Structure formats: structure tokens, C-alpha cells
Chains A and B, each alone.
Chain A
Amino acid sequence: MVTRDYVLDLIEKAGKGDRRALGRLLTILEDVNSETAWVVEYLASRSRGAHVIGITGMPGAGKSSLISRAISVLRGRGYRVAVITIDPTSPLSSGAILGDRLRMQEHATDPGVFIRSVTTAGLLGGLSLSALSMIEAFDALGYDKVIVETVGVGQSETQVMNVADTIVVVTMPGAGDDVQALKAGVFEIGDIYVVNKSDRPEASKTYEYMLFVAEKGEIGRGGAWRPPVIKTSSTLGMGIREFVEALEKHLEYLKGSGEKELRLSSRRKMLVKLLAEKIVVDSLNTIAEAELSKLQGNVEGFYEKALEIARATGEKLVNLRIQ
């Protein structure tokens, strides 16, 4: 039973290093509703300033392997690392294979690393709400680096990427139209660009091209930070240190320029918005079930009822305090 005491107990245990408790807490955050919204608030108020890193790029670019390599370097520097890896749901069955963790399994038994897989299933920004809530949990529990890995194409994934502190875009050589992919959505606003699989012969061409567009200012979020382009090979373990250096440099820049506060603020705003939407829709759905048969297709009556509920829900929302 998910009571307040049960959850507070989980959080306390998780804080002491109980990984089972953290796993169970994350499950609760996978499906936040009006009854568990307070958990997100509670965790958000205990933020410890984690560095949230979004890693995106086309399938096959080697994101998971790159992350796994980076984790080794980050651990060497004493950081505790959490990874949220997002895999697509099958449109046919709504089941999913969560295979990203496969490439990170060497870190499974490291107590300073926690890896959780999530699927894109769910309506109404469900993914974004779970992912953002989980970020709050890892932040509150003292993980220094929270890495979120996604393909970065769906609307929910874009939402999550947009509010990361550092966006890393991973490409690979010879993907043909990868150049075009750079022009679309999340790919345009990277803080760090990585050309993975650089052991391949075509790598130099891709790398040169990306340096060129970065120089011209065609990619990147603007501002004083010019996105670096880094060549890596996760199979050969090449360029990993440079990649981690870039992550550290960007964090320094964010703190120095005050941008980190801004990004935290947009993350919080997004969280409140998604929570509010979820609460409203949950309330409406509960009413819909109960009232629909009574209203017998009376659409006007339904809308009136819906407004009534929305007003009452609005009161609940006023009490949501996430700064």
C-alpha cells in the first residue's frame, strides 16, 4: 500500500544506500498521480544541485556504450552517477525491450552507479513526468551526475532534453543524412557534439563538417558557450576523457554564467505544468467514468461537470509548491 509513511520510509532507506528502496521509489515515480504528487514536491525541495546531462542521437550511434565508458571516468573522479535510459514502446503491443542497460552492465554492481530503464508508453507527457520525477529523486539522493539517454525524437523526449543542464548530441560517421538530422529539433541545440565510432574512415569528414557548422553558429543554444565537437570511439576507449572534460567545462560555464539556475527553473516549471495536467486529467477521467452513463451522451452536461471538477482541482493545484 502506497501510504505516506511507506514512501517516507523508502526515501529514508534509499538515502542510506538501500538500492531496493530506491528501485521501489522510482516505480512509484513511474506513475505519478494526484495521490503521489506530494512525493515529487518533497524530493524537489531537497535538491542537491545535480548536473543533469541529456544524451541524444540516432539509434546505432552508440550512446549507451559511450555512457558506459564515461561512467568509468566519472567514477574515477569520485562522482556518483545515475542513468535513466529511455527505450521506445512497441506501437503494436505496447510492450518494450529495455536493452540499453545491456551495454552498461559492467557498472551494475558499483554502489555509486544506479541505472534505470523507462519506456515511452503513456499518454499526456507521461514519459516526461516520470523522467523528470526520477531526476528529482536522484538529485535529492545525492547523485552528482544524472544522465538521461533518449533517441530524442518524440515530443516527450524532446521535452526532457530541453530541460537538461547539458545536452549532448551523439552522431556517427557515414550515416548519410546525419547532416540533415542536425537541422531538426533537439539536434540543433546541443551543448556538446560527439562523433562516435571515429575509428571508421569516414569519421574525419563528419567531424570537419560539424566543426564547420559549430563555428558558423548554426548549432548550439547560443550565448557565450561554443559547442565543442569531440571524436570518440567507445569500442577503442578513445576520446572519452575529452568528452568528460567537456561535460565538466560546460558545468563550470553554467554555474559561472548563472545559466544553471535558469535551467533548473525551466525544469521545475515543466514539472509543475506536467503534474498539473496529470492531476486535472486524472480527475476528469474519474468523473467521466462515473458520470458518462448518467449523462447519456449529454455533451453539454458533461462539459459543465468537467468545469466543476476543473475548478475544484484548481484548488488542489494552488497548494502545489515547487519553487
Chain B
Amino acid sequence: MSMELTLSRPTTRRKVKVLVAKIGLDGHDRGAKVIARALRDAGFEVVYTGLRQTVDQVVAAAIQEDVDIIGVNQHEGSHVYIARKLLEKLREYGADDILVVMGGSIPVVDLDVLKNIGVREVFLPGTPINEIVDKLLRIAEERRSRREV
């Protein structure tokens, strides 16, 4: 058998897995694709489920893929409704330990409402990509250490 000896500790921790979702009738996916690529370049595993997904489809995918984070990219105005439905579904399937973050054209006034619903982070338009990456790494890390207890 041929093997390469790596004289360093093999990482037992898997990479952070993020599902990038576009829920509803929005037909624009350029933003989501940009984020997906940026996250990949930062070393994440990105599950991209495409356009026009329902909340049920996103939750099903997140559960099957056992992701750390669901990142919802919204451009239309139904972000509060979608956030509520999403968190409800996750709770229903016993998967509300999966973190939900949101980005897109989200009005500042809705930040508190979203946080109260359970959205962990909201990225307003114009947030630099590296800030998003850092934040996601941090919350994923927190979540992992919480689970290991």
C-alpha cells in the first residue's frame, strides 16, 4: 500500500458547511453565486441550492447535508415572513441548532425583528466579504464548541 506520512496532526474537524439559499420567486442569483464563490475561496464547503426554493426544500437540504449555517440571500420584501417560516420549520424537524443568517436588501429597521425571530446575523448591503467570512467562521466555531460539551 502506498501512503504518505503526514507528520502533522490530521484535522479531525471538518470544514464549515454553509447552505446558500434563495427562497421565493426572486430570479436573481448573481449575489448568491458571488457569496458562494467567496466562501469557497475562504475554505468553506458551500451547498448551493439554486433559485426559487421553498422553505421546505431549503430545510430538507440543510438537514440532509448537516450544514452548520443556512445563509439566506433575499432581495424582495418578504424577508421577515421567510425568516419566521424557516426558523419554525427548523424547530419542527429538531434542527434549530443550525444557524440562520441573512443578507441582501434588508432594511435596517427590520434588524431587531429578525434577531428576535432567531436569525443569528444579518448582513446589510455593502458588508465586505471578508467581514462576512470572519463572522461565519466565528459563529460556526462557537456552535461547534457548544455541541462538544
Q: Is the CB of A292 within 8 A of B7?
A: yes
- Closest chain-A Cβ to B46's Cβ sits at a distance in Å of 5
Inter-chain contacts of A288 with B (CB < 8 A): 5, 7-8
A109 touches B57 (CB 8 A): yes
> Which of A95, A282, A285 has most chain B Cβ within 10 Å?
A95
Question: In the complex, which residues of chain B have a beta carbon less than 8 angstroms from the beta carbon of A92?
Answer: 41
Distance between Cα atoms of A102 and B60 in the complex (Å): 13
Chain A neighbourhood of B36, CB < 8 A: 97
Interface of B is mostly: loop
Binary interface encoding of chain B residues 74-95 relative to chain A, with 1 for a CB under 8 A from any of its CBs, else 0: 0000000000000000000111
Neighbour of A282 across the interface among B10, B43, B46, B53, CB < 8 A: B10
Q: Does B143 contact A (CB under 8 A)?
A: no
In the bound assembly, the distance between CA atoms of A119 and B43 in angstroms comes to 12
Chain B 107-141 interface 0/1 with A at a Cβ cutoff of 8 Å (1 = within): 00000000000000000000000000000000000
The listed residue (B10, B39, B63) touching A285 by CB distance below 8 A is B10
Which of A18, A23, A24 has the most C-beta atoms of chain B within 10 angstroms of its own C-beta?
A23
Q: A20, B65: Cβ atoms under 8 Å? A: no
The B-contacting residues of A in range 265-309, CB under 8 angstroms, are 273, 277, 280-282, 284-286, 288-289, 292
- Residue pairs across A and B with Cβ atoms less than 8 A apart, 6 shown, are A19-B60, A23-B63, A105-B50, A108-B64, A273-B1, A285-B7
Write the residues of chain A forming the contact surface with B, with a CB cutoff of 8 angstroms.
1, 18-20, 22-24, 26-27, 30-31, 33, 90, 92-99, 101-102, 105, 108-109, 114-117, 119, 121, 123-124, 273, 277, 280-282, 284-286, 288-289, 292
With contacts A20-B95, A277-B1 known, what are 6 further pairs, Cβ within 8 A? A19-B63, A20-B94, A31-B12, A98-B65, A101-B61, A284-B5
